[in-house]
Amino acid sequence: MEKDEAFMAEVLNRTASRQLTWNTEVLNCATEKLGNHFLNPNWDNSMDQSDPFESALSSMVSSPAASKVPVSGENVMMRELIGKLGNICNSGDASCYSTPLNSPPRFDLSMVNLLNHSTLVPFSADPGFAERATRFSCFSTGGDSGCFNGPLMDSFKLSCNQSINVNGSQNNKNSAMAGNSDSDKKNSGVSRSSSPENAESGVSKEESSVSQQIPSQNDAGTRKRKSIPRGKAKEIPSPAAADAKVASENDESNSKRSKREGAPSGNGNAKASNDGNQKQSKENSKPPEPPKDYIHVRARRGEATDSHSLAERVRREKISERMKFLQDLVPGCNKVTGKAVMLDEIINYVQSLQRQVEFLSMKLATVNPRMDVNMEALLSKDMFQSRGVLQHGIYPMDSSPAFPCGYHPQQGLLPLNNGIPNTTETQFSMKTQGFKLPSIDGFIDAHPQVGSMWEDDIQSIVQMGFGQNQPQSYQGSISTGQVKIEL
Amino acid sequence: MDLHNLNPSSLKSRFTTRFLRALTEINARKPIASSSSPREIFQRYRRIKDAADTSMAYSVRSRRTWSKATLWRLRTPSHRRRLASFGRRSSLNKTRTTTTASHRGAVVVQITSRGGGLGVQLEELRELVPGGEAMDLCNLLDETAHYIKCLTTQVQVMRTIANLYSLE
């Protein structure tokens, strides 16, 4: 017994002495909080009894806090003990945390755990702890602060019992007996009455059982602890439920789903708040009619039915559709696959087009313009590019506006006459030649008003002239202005 | 105005008429003399280029973001543009900032964080397409397609005109 006690005390001392730095900081905070919240408001009634305890507690807490050597193995064990304690506290679930949280001003979950940590360490470290612990429990029950009643008090009791059992000595026995005698009047704690029995029965068993229980329970405790904040974070009711439901329902979900859950969770919550119900219905039952103005999307087989993934799929399809359209526009992109290369090609093409525009405008700036040529050739170009040549307005040459236009078409047609022995062509050229002289002056005078009028008339003339010889005159008019027709 | 062979309301015809009008106006203002200094030629070139872009943007009638951006760029003087860009910058997506240079074509876009290897190319594309800074990929591709179509038309018409001009 003594050996056991000594061993346990030594182990715990070692763990206590080799706290991690964060633990020590925590303990420091804990001691402060202890001093502020725990000790003062609750133990005011019984100051005389609390004083030694308080001093002892602070001393106990400070002693492990003083040493700041990190530990590996023993710390785990200590953490396990603490974890078990925390688990015990957790067993009361919300109420466990609510009670300590209510009365003192600000108690976080972490603080409670830390308190557990902090309280456990000094409790277990001190061989005379049990006595004080009993007194502590008495204080709580006597003080009736409300904070210590309930599960937390039970946890403390259990921790007392544990440490009592762990220490397991005559001292404990004695103290337990003493405590029992004291508490029997005030406390109806079953655990307390059983403590001496435990102490007597066997410390080693307790140790082993404790050590065994702790690893499994610690995980559960940590798991539970982790789940609580997550649950609190996801307390937005329906969308979060929808997400969880979807997550649970997705049997055939992709691996991407988990990522998407994590990543757009913020988005999902925000989005879901707007259309959560509707999307929820879409997800859960896969109905073919999503409400109102939503795009009808069906989840494909083997795909996630998450609202996020559906929207993403729609978006991706839109983008790929547009990329295909661009592929048709940009020449030479049929063989290219992949977005990156495709985008490169598009960028190159747009850059080349812009450069061409600049080059051509520079060219236009340097070239001396002859408006008539401009008009006529332009329209002829337009005509060439049109598939069906209309042959109406065949002989508008007689009208005066045609005169000025006749001059340059005639010029342009001269090589045509040479090139193409076509009767109609020659006719045309003859006619235009007839208007040669008077047209020049009229032409120049009419210069500023040329604009749109010319286009019509020139166009009609040219049409007439070239109409019959569409395929051949194509070449001819190219020779006129050496117009390169890009179709 | 009636162009028989062409669809009267086609993009090409609209652009052609407008551009020719602008061109005649420019040429009327300052006829090209054989002894023009390079500076004069450069000025002409700028004016013609602006005329071409404006006429093309007008032909699209502000239905498209890029046409709106082009018109805005050509209309507002550079100092006002820079001021406006500050306001625009704040309304933009938080992942992008823009600074407009005085040069017409240079809109420098700095994208702070874009996922994937497409980031660089997207940024380039946004640079190229006027008004493409504040658009997501989907709309940007739409705009790019329309912009390419209009650019090809523009190039065609201008090339024809230039060829005709150079025949004399």
Q: What are the tokens at A225?
A: 């602890």
pLDDT band at A76 (very low <50, low <70, confident <90, very high): low
**Exposure of A20 by Cβ count < 10 A (0-12 exposed, 13-18 middle, 19+ buried)?**
middle
Assess contact for A429 and A407: CB atoms under 8 A: no
The reply to whether residue A367 touches residue B165, judged by beta carbons under 8 angstroms, is yes
Distance CA(A467)–CA(A320), nearest Å, equals 44
State residue A306's pLDDT score.
Answer: 84
Assess contact for A376 and A458: CB atoms under 8 A: yes
- With pLDDT > 70 as the criterion, what percentage of chain B qualifies? 74
How many cross-chain Cβ pairs, A to B, lie less than 8 Å apart? Answer: 186
Distance CA(B130)–CA(B146), nearest Å, equals 12
Nearest CA in chain A to B152: A353
Total length of chain B: 168
3-class SS of residue B97: strand
pLDDT band at B86 (very low <50, low <70, confident <90, very high): low
Mean pLDDT over A353-370 rounds to 81
- The answer, for B17 touching chain A at a CB cutoff of 8 Å, is yes
For residue A438, give how far its alpha carbon lies from the nearest alpha carbon of chain B (Å): 21
For residue A470, give how far its alpha carbon lies from the nearest alpha carbon of chain B (Å): 13
Q: What are the tokens at B48?
A: 């013609």
Q: What is the DSSP letter of A34?
A: I
Mean pLDDT over B11-38 rounds to 79
Q: What are the tokens at A236?
A: 């937005």
The reply to whether residue A356 touches residue B155, judged by beta carbons under 8 angstroms, is yes
- pLDDT tens by residue, A388-399: 434 444 444 444
Distance CA(A337)–CA(A300), nearest Å, equals 24
| Partner residue facing B6 (CB), from A325, A382, A392 | A382
pLDDT band at A123 (very low <50, low <70, confident <90, very high): very low
Closest CA to A65 of A30, A109, A111: A30
Angle between helices A73-91 and A93-102 (to 10 degrees): 90
Distance CA(A459)–CA(A477), nearest Å, equals 13
* Chain B residues near residue A409 by CB distance under 8 angstroms: none
Assess contact for B125 and A344: CB atoms under 8 A: no
Q: End-to-end alpha-carbon separation of chain A, Å?
A: 104
Residue owning tokens 């921790």: A159
Q: Mean pLDDT across chain B, nearest whole number? A: 74
- pLDDT tens by residue, A232-282: 444 444 444 444 444 444 444 444 444 444 444 444 444 444 444 444 444
The reply to whether residue A330 touches residue B148, judged by beta carbons under 8 angstroms, is yes
The reply to whether residue B162 touches residue A363, judged by beta carbons under 8 angstroms, is yes
| Cβ atoms within 10 Å, residue A289 | 9
Closest CA to A310 of A287, A282, A338: A282
H or E stretch including B109?
Answer: strand B107-111
The reply to whether residue B6 touches residue A386, judged by beta carbons under 8 angstroms, is yes
Backbone φ and ψ for A53, nearest 5 degrees, come out as -65, -45
- The answer, for B136 touching chain A at a CB cutoff of 8 Å, is no
Residue owning tokens 């208007």: A435
Global pTM reads 0.40
**Overall fold of domain A309-369:** MYOD Basic-Helix-Loop-Helix Domain, subunit B (4.10.280)
| Cβ atoms within 10 Å, residue B72 | 15
* Amino acid (1-letter code) at residue A322: R
| Partner residue facing A369 (CB), from B53, B156, B165 | B165
The reply to whether residue A358 touches residue B49, judged by beta carbons under 8 angstroms, is yes
The reply to whether residue A343 touches residue B121, judged by beta carbons under 8 angstroms, is yes
Closest CA to A275 of A313, A326, A239, A230: A239
Residue owning tokens 């600074």: B99
H or E stretch including B99?
Answer: strand B96-100
**Exposure of A3 by Cβ count < 10 A (0-12 exposed, 13-18 middle, 19+ buried)?**
exposed
**Exposure of A479 by Cβ count < 10 A (0-12 exposed, 13-18 middle, 19+ buried)?**
middle
Distance CA(A220)–CA(A90), nearest Å, equals 10
Q: Could you tell me which residues come within 8 angstroms of residue B69 by beta carbon, excluding any fewer than 6 positions away?
A: B130, B131, B132
Distance CA(A68)–CA(A27), nearest Å, equals 11
Assess contact for A203 and A1: CB atoms under 8 A: yes
Assess contact for B52 and B158: CB atoms under 8 A: yes
The answer to whether ipTM exceeds 0.95 is no
3-class SS of residue B59: helix
Position B22 pLDDT exceeds 60: yes
Residues 55-84 of B with CB under 8 A from A: none
CA distance to B80, B90, B91, B129, per residue, from B99 (Å): 13, 11, 13, 15
| Cβ atoms within 10 Å, residue A361 | 24
Position B49 pLDDT exceeds 70: yes
The reply to whether residue B164 touches residue A386, judged by beta carbons under 8 angstroms, is no
| Partner residue facing B158 (CB), from A361, A382, A392 | A361
* Chain B residues near residue A351 by CB distance under 8 angstroms: 128
The reply to whether residue B128 touches residue A351, judged by beta carbons under 8 angstroms, is yes
Q: Higher pLDDT residue, A342 or A478? A: A342
Test the A interface: residue of B1, B2, B5, B32 with most A CBs within 10 Å? B5
Give the DSSP letter string of A90-148. Answer: HHTHHHHHHHHHHSSS---HHHHHHHHHHHHHHHHH-TTHHHHHHHHHHHHHHHT-SSS
The reply to whether residue A451 touches residue B20, judged by beta carbons under 8 angstroms, is yes
The reply to whether residue B138 touches residue A322, judged by beta carbons under 8 angstroms, is yes
pLDDT band at A352 (very low <50, low <70, confident <90, very high): very high
pLDDT band at B126 (very low <50, low <70, confident <90, very high): confident
